[in-house]
Structure 1
Amino acid sequence: MAKKKKNVSNNSSRRTNRNDQLNLEEVYRQLRTNIEFSQMDSELRVLNVLSTHPNEGKSSVASNLAKIFADKYEKVLLIDCDLRTPSLHKMLRTSNGEGLTNLLTHYRQDDPLLEQDEIQELELDDQSSLFFLSAGSRVPNPTEIISSRRFASLINSARSQFDQVIIDCPPAFAVSDAVPISNLSDGTLFVLSAKETDKNDAREAVDDLKRNGANLIGTVMTKVPGFMSRHYYGYGYGDRNER
């Protein structure tokens, strides 16, 4: 069965920065609403989140968005597919002892994912829960794993077994893993940092994703000056034609 943890959020930080936390939660609720209404004729059950380069905020966006979806839906799965430099387990203060790479060694099509030991159930501060699949043991061939039929089968099973699936994807310029993950997803969110992102690199990455069939549904801006200035961190949402 899925392993259960408790209190993945930092309670003391929440008390000292309550207003900032409430503002951030409201931004993500609005982002969730935008996603839900962005394509009325198609279901966006599996979303992947990526950026151009590392350290632009994609993992923070993925984890916070997953928590907000978990506030509304019973079964939300967050997957760390950044097999080279996983970070979600640190953000969530949980283990990366066994995760995606370990699950794929024995996974069979349509296996009940909630019965897999590699999937952890994390209890959030608001008493909702989030299911989490960490990256798992390091492997020598991450791209082959992400491009495998077994990985595709797992994502398709997750689509049918969970209300929402959020995938933290490797940066587009770092490796080629972003393309197969985006092709398996129903929609892609592209993260831009107001501080670090080079607009030409971002444009090239977006064009490459579109050429390869990704459904780019929107952009998320991080580290926006003046928004929640104490942390120098904020978000914006743009439509899928925005660059």
Structure 2
Amino acid sequence: MKKVLITGANKSIGLETARQLLRDGYYVYLGSRDVEKGQKAVESLVAEGLDQVELLKIDVSDPESVKAARQELGRKTDVLDVLINNAGISGAFPQPATSADLAMIRQVFDTNFFGVIQVTQAFLDLLEKSEAPRIVNVTSGLGSLTLHSDPTWKYYGVKGAAYGPSKTALNAYTVVLAYELRDTPFKVNAVDPGYTATDFNHHSGPGTVEDAASLVVKYAILDENGPTGGFFSTDNDPVSGVSPW
């Protein structure tokens, strides 16, 4: 049975991603920084008959928490097949470039960018033991510099100094990571699940968590012929699924 770690999986897209992978026969380590919320999420899945799941306490922005999570997972398994870096925060809006609070910007980057690097590096040795390791970095269309430079883009006016730039940085890290692992069985991709109705945006998005999670799952279960080093989103181009950097 293949094993997957999903960070920030106690609710919304992360939880639905766990649900869909459980249905696909994966064993899920449900990452959550809040133990109580994480355990409730696990219990909700078990109640649906999806019992190949357990909680892993992890705060991606806290190096000690990441280290402890790696040690805990290492006591449970010798191999990890999939890592989905889903945990993320938006920061307080608005985020004007001329006056946004620097502490807030650093907090967003600590989770959305540095947190991904910390987790990836910490669990890489377990992933390397998989025959077909996969890494999915959950990003956003707001991280696309190309789209942000296009006045005709539907979200052209949605700009900020913290959230979008943190995802731009994440996209750049994805490119570098995929390149470094290009001659290995790894597949590493950035996936934008689209503007989805979740707590993250006060349920203002038009997309469903089911559709959002299905896109994340698609790149988590790629076969050997799948792409690596890409940026994918059906929100921008539903035909090709490719999003511009």
The alignment's TM-score, normalised by the length of structure 2, stands at: 0.37
More helix by share: 2
More strand by share: 1
1 or 2 for the larger relative contact order (CA 8 Å, sep ≥6)?
Answer: 1
The alignment's TM-score, normalised by the length of structure 1, stands at: 0.38
